[in-house]
């Protein structure tokens, strides 16, 4: 695993985006519930299949909520799949890249709402 230099303080636990030595962008921050251990994470949110793949590769997954990182374990994974409201990322390893099929897609754009009763066609 790579170690990006984390210029963070426990007083300011907000994760920061940095470049890893492999060239990939990474998220460096403090694990909020594990005695402030510095963790290096991939920046790409995962799908449920992506989280399963990461766990099978031996990588830990974290939830990002309110600017804090929280380790996901056997108690927090069931019933809380990755989604746009439940952002999940995995620990970074230079030789393993997140496949595009395992990345959470962007939110679809909202359809236009016409205020008049006359439809545009």
* pLDDT tier for residue 6 given thresholds of 50, 70 and 90: very low
Residue-wise pLDDT for 45-79, tens only, equals 999 999 999 999 999 999 988 888 888 888 888 88
pTM summary value: 0.75
Predicted local confidence at residue 84, as pLDDT:
85
Q: Stretch 8-35: mean pLDDT, rounded?
A: 78
Six token digits for residue 10: 């426990």
Could you state, in order of their start, the residue ranges of all structural domains in the chain?
16-102
For every residue of 24-38, which 3-state class applies, written as one string? CEEEEEEECCCCCCE
């Amino acid at each position: 695993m790579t170690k990006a230099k984390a210029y963070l303080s426990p007083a300011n636990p907000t994760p920061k985006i940095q470049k890893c030595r492999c060239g990939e962008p990474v998220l460096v921050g403090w694990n909020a519930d594990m005695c402030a251990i510095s963790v290096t994470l991939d920046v790409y949110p995962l799908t449920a299949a992506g989280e399963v793949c990461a766990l099978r590769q031996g990588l830990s997954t974290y939830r990002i909520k309110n600017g804090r990182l929280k380790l996901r374990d056997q108690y927090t994974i069931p019933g809380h799949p990755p989604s746009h409201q439940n952002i999940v990322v995995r620990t970074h390893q230079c030789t393993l890249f997140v496949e595009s099929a395992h990345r959470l897609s962007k939110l679809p754009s909202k359809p236009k709402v016409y205020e008049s009763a006359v439809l545009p066609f």
